[in-house]
Amino acid sequence: MDLNRYIDHTLLRATATPDDIIKRCNEARAHKFYAVCINSCYAFLAANELKNSDVKVAAVVGFPLGASSCHAKICEAEQCVKDGADEIDMVLNIGFLKAKLHKSVREEIAAVKEVIGNRILKVILETCYLTDDEIKMACQIAKKAGADYVKTSTGFGTGGATEHAVKIMINEVGDSLKVKASGGIKDAATAKKYIEMGVSRIGTSSGIEIVTSTKKNTDEHSY
């Protein structure tokens, strides 16, 4: 299992500087991670740093609360694409979902998908705030809205990915959408566990530790 090809190498903290982003891009290139995941203001910088590599740029939208206006999310996503982002990870409107304003949630996701075209759209559910039924509903809404992925967490909520939430998501979307697990994934064993469950992408700021510990274990057992 090539864990590096599942990893979105993530840096979303508020204090991240341009130099931090450049370092993260260089790390992603060196370890052949699938993508970097960064805040939208750094989409252009990351795209420029990675233009001669296979590493994708995933930019977050409506992050981390999901409570910005629909228009703001559309504009942010559109700017990310102009700046060179290959993928968008958007936070759905959690309050609207909990209020059962399903049409509004669906229309917002669909509008973001429309403006980014054939680029990948991942919808962040922030499962730590949702009941099982709300997770199922969020998956159905994302599917109807034309999203490509559902994603567990921002990493900024009260909890990250859990086996329970991931199992619900995988069962709910079947083969129609992919699932990204993120939030609190810090070691190779946890990453492998989610991949074996059926997850297609891992969001983590611990990607280097995950892949180097795997290589170290392989080396130790290769004599």
pLDDT reading at 217 higher than 90: no
Nearest CA among 181, 167, 43 for reference residue 122? 181
pLDDT reading at 223 higher than 50: no
Q: What is the distance between the alpha carbons of residues 48 and 219, in angstroms, rounded to a whole number?
A: 35
pLDDT reading at 209 higher than 80: yes
pLDDT reading at 208 higher than 70: yes
Q: What is the pTM of this model?
A: 0.95
Beta bridge partners of 61: 90
Q: What is the distance between the alpha carbons of residues 154 and 131, in angstroms, rounded to a whole number?
A: 17
* Residue 215 confidence (pLDDT): 62
Residues recognised as catalytic: 89, 151, 180
Average pLDDT in the chain: 95
pLDDT reading at 222 higher than 50: no
Confidence class for position 104, pLDDT limits 50, 70, 90? very high
Question: What is the rounded average pLDDT of the residues 1-24?
Answer: 97
Report, in angstroms and rounded to the nearest whole number, the Rg of the chain calculated over CA atoms. Answer: 17
pLDDT reading at 86 higher than 60: yes
Nearest CA among 214, 184, 215 for reference residue 202? 184
Q: What is the distance between the alpha carbons of residues 16 and 37, in angstroms, rounded to a whole number?
A: 12
132-180 tens-digit pLDDT: 999 999 999 999 999 999 999 999 999 999 999 999 999 999 999 999 9
- The length of the chain is 223
pLDDT reading at 219 higher than 70: no
Q: Please give the CATH number for the structural domain made up of 3-220.
A: 3.20.20.70
58-80 tens-digit pLDDT: 999 999 999 999 999 999 999 99
Q: What is the dihedral of CA 130, 132, 137, 142, to 10 degrees?
A: 70
Q: What is the distance between the alpha carbons of residues 88 and 103, in angstroms, rounded to a whole number?
A: 21
Q: Phi first, then psi: give them for residue 170, nearest 5 degrees.
A: -65, -45
Nearest CA among 19, 20, 50 for reference residue 33? 50
